[in-house]
Chain A
Amino acid sequence: MKVAKKVTTNVQKDRWIVSLSNGETIFEDQLKDALSAWRRLGIYVKEKKLAITNIRLQIGGRHVELPSHQEGYIMKGKVQSTGSWSRVSVCIGYAQGGRAMIHEVSSDGASHTVYCEDPGEPATIYRHDIGD
């Protein structure tokens, strides 16, 4: 599964950056008509029996960093719209024991945190370095 191991022209300024248990660093990239970078990362982690050890989000000049070595890490997009007004947010979080903490961060600076059930795969990428 193709993932971006360095910054290329497909890697934007607003992006997530992930550290893996094998020492690799993966960047969010955008490949036209391919699966989203997070879905590709989920497949890659499962195939290689790895774990995400650290993740951070860069968006709108801000940085969000999550606690390291969690059971699972969560990423998804969210759109809110009234037709005349729209907002696109990135939801980044982590899961432990079936529960999740998710930060919703938009490029216009708005953010808030929700505590909820672990949304599960594919939004959550679990660790695969200790057996399935």
Chain B
Amino acid sequence: MATTIDWFGGDAANEIVPAESGVNDTLGFFGANFGFSIRVGEWNNTSFVTNDIGTTNNGQVPNLRFANTSGAFVASELTATELLEIDNSEATLRIRLATDSSVGTQNSAFRAFDRVNINNNPSGVTINAAEIIKPDPVRGSGDVIWTTIAGTGALSFDDQVAASSVHVWYVGVTASPQSIGEKTDLGFYFETEFL
């Protein structure tokens, strides 16, 4: 079965392309703009596709900034939005699975790790994530609260049992440094089973 998976920003404008292309390869979090740092204990103001050391701007993705346990500041908004009210296109990531046959998915999960071993925690940074499910104006049905993710703590996604040749997951991701300095021991990992 031909199977492909791709990662884009939630608005589908910029892709985290496979490493073999030699360019974009991860998601980076910054302060006011690309290359700006985030103060210790605060959360990202911008999110970009970048290389693994955060030195190349390969395009912006929608930004969600942690506001409280059940809310986020969307883009540059100053008023927090409930996670359930965030649109799919406002999510940080859109992960898409495409298969030849129509399949359902189960046991889908997302975690942050140190880019060495998926079971290791990222170093020096707190990562919160939430599944966003709000494809139209009605109130969403994704996660109500943020989950802190790491190598040892994954965010589980809802099963997508209806058979389809395309499955998409929207993920909100927000980051906060625990100490001064660049945090490059950070990557993201997604897995799913399909049948």
| Residues of chain A having any CB pair with chain B under 8 Å | 12, 30-39, 75-86, 88, 91, 122-123
Contacts and interface: CB of A to CB of B under 8 A. Distances in A.
Interface stretch (B32-40, B67-75, B82-90, B98-106): B98-106
Most chain B CB within 10 A, of A36, A81, A82, A84, is at: A84
A84 B22 CA distance: 9
Interface string B1-20: 11101010000000011110
B100 A30 contact: yes
A14 B187 CA distance: 31
A84 B193 contact: no
B77 to A, nearest CB: 26
A91 B188 CA distance: 23
Contacts of B2: 30
A81 B109 CA distance: 11
A76 B101 contact: no
Given A81-B7, A83-B26, A91 B193 contact: yes
B80 interface: no
A33 B99 CA distance: 9
Interface of B: 1-3, 5, 7, 16-19, 24-27, 95, 97, 99-104, 163, 165, 187-195
Main secondary structure of the interface of B (DSSP, over half): strand
Contact of A85 (B3, B19, B194): B19
Contact of B195 (A39, A80, A83): A39
A91 B163 CA distance: 19
A77 B1 contact: yes
B18 A86 contact: yes
A122 B26 contact: no
16 contacts: A32-B101, A34-B101, A76-B193, A77-B3, A78-B191, A79-B97, A79-B190, A79-B191, A79-B194, A81-B189, A82-B187, A83-B18, A84-B19, A86-B18, A88-B3, A91-B193
Given A33-B102, A77-B103, A79-B190, 11 more contacts: A12-B1, A34-B101, A35-B102, A77-B193, A77-B195, A78-B193, A80-B190, A80-B191, A83-B7, A83-B16, A83-B190
Contacts, number: 91
A31 B103 CA distance: 12
A123 to B, nearest CB: 5
B151 to A, nearest CB: 12
A91 B194 CA distance: 10
Contacts of A77: 1, 3, 99, 103, 193-195
A82 B117 CA distance: 11
Nearest to A29: B101
Contacts of A76: 193-195
Nearest to A88: B3
A85 B1 contact: no
B101 A81 contact: no
A79 B99 CA distance: 11
